[in-house]
Structures are given as C-alpha cells and as structure tokens.
Structure 1
C-alpha cells in the first residue's frame, strides 16, 4: 500500500456566474476515497452533486474534481480535498475568490407597483404627490447607476432627487404632473456587464403605449438541450404579445416541441424542447395595444455539443508481454468535437512503421499494435487527446518479458563444504530463469524448511539469489545437499557435500629443527603458495550463432607446471563434456586456462563450468553462454 498523493488544485479568482472546474490527479494504492468540502476547518460542509455542480470521479485515470456550470458568489471561500486509503490520508486546501460580478438587481423597480390616478386610493398616487422609485443592485466592482426617463438620461434638479447608499438607489420625482407619465429605467454598469430594471408610471385606466420591461437576451445553446426565452412587457391596457422567428410568426401548432405562455403581469415565455441546429435564428417579440407597438429581439445560436476529451476506457495501468509476442494497447476516447489523438512512448511521439500500426474506429476505440515486441519496447506509453475544449492523457507501463527458458544455475555450489560442530552452515547460489523458478533445498533427498528445524532459514529474492542457512551445525547435518530449481519450462539441480567434524583440542606444536646448508635449502623448506582465480569468466556471455565459444580464466600463478590438462574438467549444465566436445583446451605460461568450442549452434547454450582439481585445492568458475542469432549479437 502507498499513501495517497494529490496534485493540482491551485487557488482561483473567478467572475460570478461563469463556469468553473477544479481538477486533481489523486494517486495511491489501493485506490483512495476522495471527498470534497467547503468552509474552514471549524465548519466543513461536504459538497454534493446538484443541478449546478457535478463531482468528477474517474479512478481509472486518477482524475477527480468539481465542476460548476455557473459559479455562485456565495460559494466563494476555502475548500478542502481529502484522499484516504488503508495506507493513510492526505488533505489539500485551496480557495476561490470572486474577482468580478456582473450587475444584478436584488430589488427591481417592478416590485414597486406605481400607478397614478386622480382618485385617492391605497398604493396609488394622485397628481401633485411624489413618486418614489427604489432599487437594490449588486456587483463587483460596485456598478455605476444611471436613471433614464423614456430612455433619456435623467439628471438631478429641485424636483428630481437621485440618491445612492452603497447598494441602495432611489429616484424621487416631486409634485408629479402629467408630463411625468413615462417609462423609468435604472441602468447599472461595471466592466463585467450591465443590467437594467424598468417601471412604467401611468394613469390608471388610461391608455399608454407598450414598453419592454425585461428584454430578450441572446442565447448560445448546445443541440439537444431545451431553449427558454423570456421577456416582460407593460402598457395600458396590457399589450398583446406575438412571437416571431426570422420574421415568421411562431405558432404552437406548427411544432410540437414549442410551448408559448403569456401571463397577466406582462411576462411571456417561449420553450423549445431538444433544440436542433435549424432552430438557430433571430427571435422577435412584439407587444401591441391601441397606443402603439414595442419590440425586443435576440439571437439564438444552436451549436454542436462541446465536451472536453475523456477516456471512458483508459489504458490499463500495467501491460506485460513476452518477447516476440504482439504488444496491443487499447483505449476508448470521447469528446465533442472528436479529439485528435497522439501516441507517445516515454514522452516522445510514436511513428507508424511496418512493425507499428495505429487504428481508430468511429466509436472512439484506439489501438496501438507492435508486432514481435522486443525488450527495447518496454517503457511508459501515453495516449493524448486534444480538442478545442481541452486535453486529456491516459498512460500505461509496458514490461517486455524474455522468452521463457528453463532454470540455469549461474552461481554454482561448492563441491564440498567443511564445517565444525557449532559453526553456521551457509550455502549460496543464483538461479536464472523465466518465469521465475521455484527453489527447493533438500538434504539426502528430504525437503528442508524452518518448519522441520527452526535452525534452518531459506531466503530467495526476485533476482534468483537463494541461500540455505543452518545455525550451529550438528553432526547429523552432514550429508548431500541438493538445490532444485523448477519452472514450467524445465528443471535443474546441483549438489554439494557438507562434512561436519568435531573441533580438535589444540596441542603444542613441536617441529624438528631444519638444518639448512645454503639458500637453496631455505627456498625448498617454504610451503607451496596457494593458487587463486585472478580473473574470472563473465557471469554471462552472448555468442553469435556459428561463432566460436571462447572462455578463459586467469590464475594467480605464472608457473605453467603448477597445473596440467588432467587437472581441468569442463561441465555444461552440470554434465561433464567429453574430450570430443572440447575442441581446444590450453594452459598458457601466464597461468591462463582457455577453452574453445568452434562453430556453436543453439544447442550449445547453457551454463559452462571450469573446475580445476589439485591435491591441495579445488577451483570452480561458471559462465552462462547464450547462443543468439546475428541480429541480437
């Protein structure tokens, strides 16, 4: 298990009402559980999915996040992402700050119903009284506010008072007359946009031309979504409303997807279900009564759906393939418009060749195929997808395994091991194979394990190293020890003899005096020097098919008479080679043992061992020989 990590999630500064997306790459094993919170540490609130906000969770790609269709200013503040698995927990703090907000009327003029009559009635004005218009507007930065009368700027005067207090704005027209009957507009503007609210001051039950209180707004919408257009009109009497598209009247009966509604308060709405590209155009609303006509229009643009690239079926995290078998990587990509894709290996683009094919179907299935995978094909492969809406990447690690072969002993056991009672026994070896061999240690053909004797410890690693250790040797530990290595391709074994002797009591050593007559007698009295391996054979050697196998080991003696050919034995896979198999064996004056086998064939691959046995000592050295075709030499 590995502790989770979180990458990404920087602080953001956004405009209120605009789309916002947070993305993080969260890794760990096992796959972490990712949670999202809003608020400070003392008041954390979990974030859940709503119509406006979606939780992104794509564990196969380690991709997590939050997406807001329209970020509201009341959600600004601190956020927290938490990732948890069995190995631990990690948290990442980030924040959202509102950097701007279009003007918005919290209180509109139409909420203050103002009409005028010569009769005194509740909530109605009479001539000579004052008309008061009040509104509340919000925005970042704070908007500039302007008042208009019949679309013309209205300035302060002794009879017209304009006041502003932070977000609250007020227009007072004192001692109203018939000339004050008009459309009054409050317009708010900042660098992110503008908004306006409209009110009609009118005589009750006396005709007044229509006005547009809330105009139509341009809309850009994706194909397949529902379109809603809204506007509000006023007049005395309330005007009749007509909808047109590209100057042609819209009737509900003409299209079952259309819904037209009009209300007594002057609001009117058009809904088109599952819009099509052909629904793009100019929409027009006409409001008409006996005093005149008012109109508003908006453009509607229906576009093909837009989606950033994603991988419904990403690449597998790990792909393992054997040498000379086909390597196939597959993923499915989605995006609108369909994204462009690119395959990479270790960050570099992959080009097509006679050995490499790249295929992509109409459904987004992407495939990379490499014929006869080689060890050099191992690495990190990526599939990158790009369109106008974003970029996405999925990747996998490819491991190319060698062709299966039977176990080989590359570090041989000693011919004989001598220990004394109470001393530890340690026998080391190394096995090379694919797949990894199962190693068994035996004594006199009986399997060994710590369950049988707690003094026994057997260790193996993924590199093929193996060790049998027995603490505090006993006389009964003497015997023949066998290492057996097995995998589905084959089996091999090697033996060693262990002798356990009793420790001898030390006795005084007395030597007869040596009478030397001259220098020559002194040299002969000295003990013979020990011979060691000065330069060993390599652990492994690749030999091209048809070439000669040449192996050599150099001894620590320059006396060519110290050993002779009868002292040397050559083994292949633990089997002694006959004289006919040994084409050339030389012992040079420099103390180098040379072995040559001419014109090798594939059957000559194996573990070669040179043993030198003299009355005083044994020397052993091994080399794994691989006979390969010329293209791998």
Structure 2
C-alpha cells in the first residue's frame, strides 16, 4: 500500500493509551491524553483501540509512517507492533530516546468514516552532572571559583551545599572570596529536575596556612622519673617539628630522651630525668608557608612559680634563628 493511498484511506480512530506505570517508568498509557511523558531509556506502549469494521489502519510519527496495517515501514528496530487484531492496534517503543519525542498519530478507516487521534510523546531526562571542578588546594586569603554543569529535561536546578554549615548557594558557580581556613571542607553540588533522584557530587577544598602553635606549657619533673614536653601546632600542610635547648643546640634522641613527631604535635619523652635535662626548650614548627616557635621549661618542682614563666624565654634570640631556619624552607 503506497503512501498516497494510505493518506487517502486514513479514517479517524479512538487512540487509547493505557498507563500501567508512572511517567518515570516505561509502560502503557490510558485515557485520551494530549501529552504522554516517559523517562529516557524506558519503554512505552501506545495502544490504539479499534473495532471490527476497520479496513485500513496506520501509525505515524510526524510525517513518517511507522506501520501500515501489519507492514512495518520504520527501519528502527526499537519500534515494534505490540498487537494487531479487530480491537487493538498497538505499537511499542523500546529504550526511548530524546529523538523519539514528538507527535504520534493512530489513523484508521471504517465504513468510509475516517477517524484520527493525536498524542504528543514527551521524553524526560534525569538531571545529571556532566562537568564539575576538581578538588582544589589554595592558600588562605586566595579566591576560590567552583563550577558544576548539569543537563536534563526539563532544565534542572543546580545548588551548592556547604557541608559544614548547611548553607546553600543557587546556580552553577560558587565563588568564595579570600577564603579562610575554617572554610576548608567538601562542597556538594546537587542537581535536580524532579524526574528521578537528584545527582550529587562533592569538591574538596583544602586551605593551606602556616603553623600556629596552640598547646605548650612548662612542666615539672623529678630526677629519675619520666616527663613529657608537648608542642602542638595546627597547619596545612602539616608542620615539621624541631626542638632546641638553651644555647640553641638541636635536641637529639638518646637513651634517656626520645622525640616523637605526630601529625599535629611533637613530644619530648624523657625516660630518666637527670640534671642535664632541666632547662629551656624551644619548639620550632614550620611548613612551606611559614613557621612558628615557642619556648617552655622543664624544671625541678619548686624551682619556679606558676605556669608559663618561660613560655617566651629567649624569644629575641629566636627571631634571628627563625629567620635562618626559614631560609632553609
């Protein structure tokens, strides 16, 4: 049957699309909708009810004939004839694509009475992130510019979520001016268009800053006993630690003293305190951005009064020492 003959023979038909699932899943559609919605990748059945008097029937998509009776005209393997009898003339589209969107027509002729019905197939695409900033490392005070690009049908929204404080910023771009160390965290991009579950991805922002010694104090020690001097410094990247004593000689581990460096602190562990161990110790913490130092005393109980008396002892001498050490970085 040629195309002109088919068009002349088209009769009106009631197009019934039976729905067995939500628009988020493939299925059959019912009633007489103007628009049918299906999710990309799902299948959909377009069911056309006819009667025994029908002599000619066809399915069209735009101006393209898909089926003329049981003869398939479409070259698309995804489009098949789901049913064809005296009451049901249905087609099925497998793995629906965005290009399948558009008008569909079921047309038939019965007793020279043409009937035709139209339906518009809408293809939705779940929102997804297609490009996003990589993890970034910056120095404190610099500006940070993040982006998150998403696609979907309908057009998705994009928001940025601050994981630490729960703050939300709308739009594909997130700009942070003169970032502070407290703002170092994972920033989450969320895109959603109501079709499926939101798509979410995170960007890790690392903020580098020089060491700041936060925990040090003078410690009493008894001869022959154990003692510990602690030096804690917050820094990104983590600080390297060095210890100096009195005349600024580097402290080295021996059988009575051990240096234990951890991620954020350094410990001087005295296993057997002797007279030579008493004195002023200076902790020097440094990374590529700068350095910090502080002094503390290991003293015999009763030798000094109160805490922190030696906290800044020798600091004037340490200014020049710090400058020399920084030149090594």
What band does the TM-score fall into relative to the shorter chain? 0.5 to 0.7
Out of 216, 221, 243, the position equivalent to 1:411 is 216
Out of 104, 108, 111, the position equivalent to 1:285 is 108
Is contact 1:243-1:249 (8 Å) kept? no
Partner of 1:166: none
Q: Over alpha carbons, which structure has the higher Rg?
A: 1
CA distance in 2, matches of 1:70, 1:491: 67
CA distance in 2, matches of 1:397, 1:343: 10
Asked if 1:426 corresponds to 2:243, the answer is no
Asked if 1:447 corresponds to 2:249, the answer is no
Asked if 1:334 corresponds to 2:157, the answer is no
Asked if 1:301 corresponds to 2:116, the answer is no
**Superposed CA offset, 1:204-231 (max 9, x none):** xxxxxxxxxxxx9988266998875555
Correspondence list, 1:79-118, <5 A: none
CA distance in 2, matches of 1:249, 1:320: 55
Partner of 2:36: 220
Out of 172, 178, 199, the position equivalent to 1:372 is 178
Shift of 1:336: 0.3
Aligned residues: 281
Shift of 1:402: 5.7
Partner of 1:458: 260
CA distance in 2, matches of 1:570, 1:482: 9
**Superposed CA offset, 1:379-410 (max 9, x none):** 674544443536736465766636436x7697
**Superposed CA offset, 1:217-257 (max 9, x none):** 9882669988755556547xxx63244879x996979x963
CA distance in 1, matches of 2:243, 2:303: 32
Correspondence list, 1:193-272, <5 A: 220=36, 234=52, 240-243=55-58, 257=74, 266=86
Which secondary structure does the structure 1 equivalent of 2:198 belong to? strand
Distance 1:398 1:243, change over 3 A: closer
Q: TM-score, normalised by structure 2?
A: 0.55
- Aligned CA RMSD, in angstroms, stands at 5.8
Q: TM-score, normalised by structure 1?
A: 0.33
Distance 1:441 1:398, change over 3 A: same
Structure 1, unaligned stretches of length 5 or more?
1-15, 22-67, 72-101, 103-192, 195-215, 352-357, 359-365, 501-528, 540-550, 552-568, 577-602, 604-633
CA distance in 2, matches of 1:223, 1:483: 64
**Superposed CA offset, 1:539-592 (max 9, x none):** 9xxxxxxxxxxx9xxxxxxxxxxxxxxxxx87336359xxxxxxxxxxxxxxxx
Structure 2, unaligned stretches of length 5 or more?
1-18, 324-329
Distance 1:530 1:252, change over 3 A: closer
Partner of 1:18: 21
Distance 1:251 1:430, change over 3 A: closer
Is contact 1:413-1:494 (8 Å) kept? no
Larger RCO (CA under 8 A, 6+ residues apart): 2
CA distance in 1, matches of 2:285, 2:39: 66
Distance 1:20 1:439, change over 3 A: farther
